Structure 1
């Protein structure tokens, strides 16, 4: 069997999980990750000292190291046109081009797409100036969802409970340089993460997951990039899943074809199951973090084979999903997400046969780790049941002293764990 080199762009927990899964493929010789993180030494992934936004050097590296194709992790690079640049250099790359990446790069753009192609979403309106946005508050009632239009790493959303909070939030966002805000009705219901692997109108659905966005137990505190995740979802009925596919996935994919997007990459659909049926909260044009860390371990189909077929417009293999459950909890720096501590001593983390660690924002060496801000790592376990995986993870977390760190203690509560 011919073996290939692949390149993953990014440095966080998501890229760790992608690189780990690709390195397990019999089709892969070596996975490189640029810039990667020090924890990747534990999974035999070779890090490359090139920043993820340095497209010319990444292109040069891909040419010089016989890279079959590149997998892009972060949304910023996709919005900035890394795919367009790689294509212009004659290189294969997995991810949407800059035009398609606007589905995440601009909330207004994504909502217009949903409206145009009949994808159910919240009542909404976009505003280009503060006065108009303040005058628009009365259209919605409370609680009111206020979103920054551009990329915000999952954190540019405020759910205002009253007029005073809405007014101060709108003024603050415009004062911080936002050129456009989106106001939306607040949808009520359980939220779910669905990931499509797309190849120009053909798609495969990856395992479902549920994310926990708020920083603290009980869904308190500010929105974060995600504090934990699990898969599968015992609370999601098969009939509701089929509605999501029919009412959300199918019109979305048809819209991408009709709009001439030539989409090759991942599309995340953030869903909320309301009393009126499934509705879309947002699109992301890449895998989510921390969902990636729990869905890829459940993917029995070779990820290399899926991506390679998608890039080359060949028939993609069917997705085979493991019956085992995966559960993960994020350890974050004290002060995250607003002002995370940097440099705290983590030391050498204890080994355990029943959990794995996906590293993210860490520095130092694997035997003497230090925190490097934000979300540091995820502790995860794969087991016969969610409850067993949950118990393993929390036993590990609770028996280790985490200096200047925190984690949520109620991940999986919505699955009655």
Structure 2
């Protein structure tokens, strides 16, 4: 099969590495890709925002399947455009991708179908958002309604902080907000592989959203992750599938907008059981870099089954080992940061047993590897448990020579401590 992979981040590098293992694959093309993805795929200079260009590329290369990595083209309707051209694509339609594209849409769906989530108010102007903040009290959560690359959320500890977040959000014309009650508990991520009617559990993970050690600093797109998540026991995961994920997939199918693709449920593990924080309509980043290395099955075979509506008899299998990834980001991220600094030592780090260095924001200048993004690398390692995976990952991180970068030094601290105690 000829497969076209859309995207250029660490998630797409993990997808490319996994797809490349499939005996069903004859050619893998990536658009636009990155230097890491280039180790597995032929790169094409087509942006994920260029829907016409994507369709033209898929036709020109006689592509059998398009795999869409990032959320923006999904919400923009790239799968619909490809379907109109007679090209199979793995990912939700634009209507189904509203589960990520509009937090208000998802909250309304939860309310209608009794899916456990935080109390909320959908606010179309600043005045109503300020009123909602006062009604909920602090702490309170203020979210931008649309896509925000994992950074459009403020967990406000004080009313003053929440009101400031509302003011900042509504500086943009046409902005809408969802103001939510604060939920107590531990966060975890659950992934489902969906074919429109069937939703299969496809691994779990925990990530670290805050920029700095000790969960301090601003929210980011994710500074590291590990899988499996000890807090998400098999019983809790099945409860989340039964009360959150499967009812969502059923509701979407009944509405005539069946969800095909990876459905990523961000969960809060509360004293009342798991509750939905929000959905993503694609795999997570950096979660893909710890879930996919543990997959024991043929990823391409599973994606084809999802597109063909043939998942009912499948059950994805994962290795028992733990995978842990440390994100290396440009200093200043998620705020302003410099681009163009050189990174050395990746080959030495990747040569360590069980280690993969996934590229996210990198580019080549001749033989020099440059940092061109905020989150630039994810150093992923396998271990018998979280403590060993953590040790393996950081030993590889320490071999990378990039003075202009930084990383958290405590990724997986909770799971590693549990492993050492056990």
Coarse TM-score class (shorter-chain normalised): over 0.9
Is 1:108 the counterpart of 2:104 in the alignment? yes
Distance 1:394 1:178, change over 3 A: farther
Is 1:154 the counterpart of 2:150 in the alignment? yes
1:283 partner SS: strand
2:208 is matched with 212
Shift of the alpha carbon at 1:314? 2.6
Distance in 2, matches of 1:303 and 1:350, equals: 26
Distance in 1, matches of 2:14 and 2:144, equals: 28
Is 1:307 the counterpart of 2:303 in the alignment? yes
Distance 1:215 1:178, change over 3 A: farther
Whether contact under 8 Å (2:346, 2:399) holds in the other structure is: no
- Counterparts in 2 of 1:119-130, with a 5 A limit? 119-130=115-126
Q: TM-score scaled by structure 2?
A: 0.95
Is 1:27 the counterpart of 2:10 in the alignment? no
Distance in 2, matches of 1:348 and 1:400, equals: 5
Aligned match for 1:74, one of 65, 70, 75 = 70
User: What's the CA shift string for 1:282-339, capped at 9, x where partnerless?
Assistant: 0110001000011011111111111111112234532111112211100001111121
Is 1:86 the counterpart of 2:82 in the alignment? yes
1:5 is matched with 2
1:349 is matched with 346
Shift of the alpha carbon at 1:72? 0.5
Distance in 1, matches of 2:185 and 2:365, equals: 43
Whether contact under 8 Å (1:347, 1:370) holds in the other structure is: no
| More off after superposition, 33-42 vs 75-84 | 33-42
Whether contact under 8 Å (1:364, 1:370) holds in the other structure is: yes
User: What's the CA shift string for 1:31-71, capped at 9, x where partnerless?
Assistant: 111000122233x2111111111111211211121211101
Is 1:195 the counterpart of 2:194 in the alignment? no
Q: TM-score scaled by structure 1?
A: 0.96
1:260 is matched with 256
Distance 1:330 1:178, change over 3 A: farther
Whether contact under 8 Å (1:211, 1:226) holds in the other structure is: yes
Distance in 1, matches of 2:61 and 2:369, equals: 30
Shift of the alpha carbon at 1:340? 2.3
Q: Mind listing any 5+ residue stretches in structure 2 that lack a counterpart?
A: 418-422
1:67 partner SS: coil
1:109 partner SS: helix
1:244 partner SS: helix
Whether contact under 8 Å (1:215, 1:408) holds in the other structure is: yes
Whether contact under 8 Å (2:193, 2:261) holds in the other structure is: yes
Shift of the alpha carbon at 1:139? 1.4
Moved over 4 A (4+): none
Shift of the alpha carbon at 1:366? 8.3
CA RMSD of aligned residues (A): 1.5
Whether contact under 8 Å (1:211, 1:228) holds in the other structure is: yes
2:376 is matched with 376
1:330 is matched with 327
